[in-house]
Amino acid sequence: MKYRLLGRSGLAVSELCLGTMTFGNTTSEAESIEMIHTFQSLGGNFLDTANVYVNGRSEEIVGKAINGRRSEYVLATKVRMQVEDHVNGAGLSRKHIMESVEASLNRLATDYIDLYQVHVWDYATPIEETLRALDDLVSSGKVRYVGCSNFLAWQLMKALGLSDFKGLSRFISIQPQYSLVSREMDREVMPLCLEENVGVIPWAPLGGGFLTGRYGREEPESGRLAGKVGESSWPLRATEKNFSILDAVQGAAAELERTPAQIALRWLIQRPGITSPIFGASTMAQFEDNIGAAGWEMPQEVWDKLDAASALPVEYPQRFLEKFRRSI
C-alpha cells in the first residue's frame, strides 16, 4: 500500500480509503470490524464514515474497531444531513455543527476526528458561519483538518477564498462522485483542485457497482443497481457510452489478468489529482477484490485507452480557451 499527502496538509493517507456506509446494515458488525482490521494489516490507514450512515451505527462500529489503535488510523466523518427531527437537526449552522461533532465523537469513542467534512453545501447558512465553526473545532483540538463533499466549483472556491482572507482553517479535501462513468468533475472542480492543491477522495469509484462487470444491458432484478434511485439508478448508468466504457474496462481486465473493479479503481488511483478513492464492500469477498487495486501500476497505454474511452466531450468554454494557452 502506498501513501499520499492529503491536499496541502502533511497528513499521509493510503492510496485507497475504506468506506463504511454499509457497516451495521448490509454488512454485519463482526464482518465490518474484520474488514477494518484486515485493511489496516495490509497498510490501509484511511477510513471514511458519516454521522448519517445507518443512523450513526456505522460510526459506532468504526469506533469499536479502532479502539486501542486510534493513532494508526486517519478517521474521516461528515456533518450536514438530517439527524434529528427538528428544524435545527440538519444543516451547517454553528449550532448543528457543534452538537453533531460531540455526537460523532461519542459514537466513535475518540476525542478527535482527523478529517471533518461538510457533506453538502447548505444554502440556508452563510458559509462564513460554517467556516468559523469548523475553525473553532480545529483550534479546540476536536478536529485536525476540515474538508467538503459534493460542492460545486464556485462553492469550493468561495470557501477557500474566505478561509485564506480571514485566516481560517482551509478545506484540504473534497469528496465528490467520480469514476470512469461519472467524470462531470473534469469540467470545473478537478482543474480547481489541481490549481489549489485540494485532495480529491472520490465516492462511488465503481459507479455504484456498474463497473464491476456484474451487469449486462438488461435492467437487473437484483444487486446494487436494481430498483435504485439517485446517482446510481439504472437509467443514469445504463447508457451506450457507459456500456462502451465497461467494455474497455473488461478488455483491460482480461489483458492485465485483473478484475474489472481493480481496473476501475486503479485508473482512479493513477489519475493526477486523485488522492484516495473510497471503496465500499458488503462482504469480505468484495473487500478482497477491491483491495487488489493497490500495490501495482497500470501500464500507461492501458490507462490512456480507458481515459480516452471515458473522457467528456470538449465543451465551451474549455474549447474556446484552449486557443489562448501560452507556452514560454
Per-residue pLDDT of 1-57, as tens digits, reads: 999 999 999 999 999 999 999 999 999 999 999 999 999 999 999 999 999 999 999
- Rounded-to-integer distance, Cα 8 and Cα 196, Å: 8
Looking at per-residue pLDDT, the higher value among 316 and 89 belongs to: 316
**pLDDT more than 90, % of the chain:** 86
Query: What does pLDDT average to over the chain?
Result: 95
Give the strand pairing for 3-5 and 12-14.
antiparallel
Is residue 316 part of the annotated active site? The answer reads: no
- In CATH, the architecture of 3-175 is Alpha-Beta Barrel (3.20)
pLDDT at residue 225, as a whole number: 65
- Its pTM stands at 0.94
Count of CA atoms in the C-beta half-sphere (13 A) of 234: 14
pLDDT at residue 235, as a whole number: 85
Catalytic residue among 53, 73, 116, 215: 53
* Average pLDDT, integer, range 69-95: 94
First to last CA, the chain: 39
* Average pLDDT, integer, range 151-155: 98
pLDDT band at 207 (very low <50, low <70, confident <90, very high): very high
Helix axes 284-291, 260-269, angle to 10 degrees: 50
Looking at per-residue pLDDT, the higher value among 187 and 235 belongs to: 187
pLDDT at residue 228, as a whole number: 66
Q: Put the strands of the sheet holding 171-175 in their side by side order.
A: 199-200, 171-175, 143-149, 113-118, 74-79, 46-48, 17-19, 278-279
- For residue 217, pLDDT beyond 90: no
pLDDT at residue 64, as a whole number: 98
* Average pLDDT, integer, range 79-103: 93
* Average pLDDT, integer, range 109-115: 98
pLDDT at residue 325, as a whole number: 83
- For residue 223, pLDDT beyond 70: no
pLDDT at residue 240, as a whole number: 93
